[in-house]
Amino acid sequence: MAQDPTNPHDALLKALLDAPERAGVFLRENLPEVLRERMTDEPPRHLPGSFIDPAMAETHSDRLFEVPLRDGRTAFAYVLIEHKSGPDPATPVQLLGYQQRIWQRFAEQDGQGRAQRYRRLPPIIPLVLYHGQPEWSVPLSLVDCIDADAELLALQRDFGYQVRHLRPEESDARLSSDPVLRAGLRALAWAFVEHLDDAAVARLLRDLPEGHPLEQALLRYIARVYPTTESTVYRALEITRPERAKELIMTVADEWVERGKKEGRQEGRQEGRQEGEINTLLRQIERKFGSEAKKAYQDRVENASVGELDRWLDRFATADRVEQIFGNE
């Protein structure tokens, strides 16, 4: 049975582009014009992850679409979601690897006509959907990543790709003409916004028609990703779906519980690390400078932040006097 991707960004993208008609709108709004002009009105066909690599389960979130063209041929549109906090310099090489596997699976899918298919490979247009905060700074062509002079670079073929950078401040019209796509893309665009109040979350939910199949996926995404509270989401639901607010907040209650456990574990690890560094520093001070030195600085060390402890531990190795560990702080 197919399962949802465990990453919340991947899960939302998968739900957003599962409907062929909606995927068609997304591709027409974000692919290069030269390809859009050649596309028919027929919805694109989603190809399973196994088409790229037999080892890829249906949990794989990247989307591969077969796009019919007006001249009777087809093209592939490969949508890669880039949900890291910043641009990944490995992206051009990563995309080339995916393209190689797609072409190989296309040519090897049937024993008959294999040689001809290798000579008539469909074009693959990669599209990176990125929603991190820093501007995308990775070259858009693999050839720009190759360290060689002009003559050697001329021997390389250009495997370019497009980037659709989702920005928090984008207008409705810029995000999408389709309200469901607009809701999902805005949710991704706001993933790294630090402060979202009731009105902002309500705006996010307002575009999505009430009762839409994507409703719970969007709420789960908000609960898992956004730096907001359950009460904020509930008030936003009261604004946009007053009669179903309690019902909907209960459908994602498990996400808030799991989030609380995760935050608790992170706090516990931080506290454990801090306690360990305190004990280490005090023990080393006593061994090197004596018990009186330890006693003199014990209160200061026990009330220090993790950053201060790290800094003092770094200084310890070269300190000739205990005062040098703490500097002028």
In DSSP notation, 35-78 reads HHTTB-SSPPEEEPHHHH-TT--TT---EEEEEEBTTS-EEEEE
By percentage, how much of the chain surpasses pLDDT 90?
A: 34
Based on the domain organization, do 110 and 77 belong to the same domain? Answer: yes
φ, ψ at 128 (rounded to 5°): -90, 120
Based on the domain organization, do 109 and 219 belong to the same domain? Answer: no
pLDDT at 50: 59
pLDDT at 6: 62
- CA 153 → CA 95, 139, 142, 159, 160, distances in Å? 19, 15, 11, 13, 14
Based on the domain organization, do 232 and 144 belong to the same domain? Answer: no
124-130 and 63-68 as β-strands: parallel, antiparallel, unpaired? unpaired
By percentage, how much of the chain surpasses pLDDT 70?
A: 86
Based on the domain organization, do 91 and 219 belong to the same domain? Answer: no
Is 113's pLDDT higher than 80? yes
Is residue 288 included in any domain, yes or no? yes
Enter the DSSP assignment of 142.
G
pLDDT at 4: 47
Q: How many domains does the chain have?
A: 3
Boundary of a domain, candidates 126, 147, 181: 181
Based on the domain organization, do 138 and 48 belong to the same domain? Answer: yes
Is residue 3 included in any domain, yes or no? no
Based on the domain organization, do 37 and 157 belong to the same domain? Answer: yes
Q: Coil, strand or helix: which one is 162?
A: strand
The amino acid occupying position 166 is: L
Give yes or no for a contact between 92 and 125, defined as CB atoms under 8 angstroms apart: no
Boundary of a domain, candidates 181, 214, 230: 181
Is residue 1 included in any domain, yes or no? no
- What tens digit of pLDDT does each residue of 183-208 get? 999 999 998 888 888 899 999 899 99
The tally of CA atoms less than 13 A away on the side-chain side of residue 77 is 30
**In terms of residue numbers, what domain contains 272?**
256-326
Is residue 162 included in any domain, yes or no? yes
**Who wins on pLDDT, 229 or 170?**
170
Is 28's pLDDT higher than 90? yes
CB atoms within 10 A of CB 146: 13
Give yes or no for a contact between 162 and 146, defined as CB atoms under 8 angstroms apart: no
State pTM to two decimals: 0.68
Is 22's pLDDT higher than 90? yes
pLDDT at 270: 57
Give yes or no for a contact between 188 and 166, defined as CB atoms under 8 angstroms apart: yes
pLDDT at 72: 93
φ, ψ at 231 (rounded to 5°): -65, -35
Is residue 280 included in any domain, yes or no? yes
Is residue 83 included in any domain, yes or no? yes
Is residue 188 included in any domain, yes or no? no
Give yes or no for a contact between 26 and 188, defined as CB atoms under 8 angstroms apart: no
Average pLDDT along the chain: 83
Based on the domain organization, do 112 and 223 belong to the same domain? Answer: no
pLDDT at 195: 86
φ, ψ at 116 (rounded to 5°): -70, -40
Boundary of a domain, candidates 251, 271, 290: 251
Is 258's pLDDT higher than 70? no
Based on the domain organization, do 149 and 35 belong to the same domain? Answer: yes
- What tens digit of pLDDT does each residue of 37-71 get? 999 999 999 887 656 665 554 445 678 899 999 99
**Who wins on pLDDT, 180 or 276?**
180
Based on the domain organization, do 93 and 63 belong to the same domain? Answer: yes
Is residue 33 included in any domain, yes or no? yes
pLDDT at 37: 93
For range 167-192, the mean pLDDT: 93
Tokens of 42: 């027929």
Enter the DSSP assignment of 160.
B
Q: How many residues does the chain have?
A: 329
Based on the domain organization, do 264 and 246 belong to the same domain? Answer: no
Based on the domain organization, do 76 and 125 belong to the same domain? Answer: yes
Based on the domain organization, do 287 and 204 belong to the same domain? Answer: no
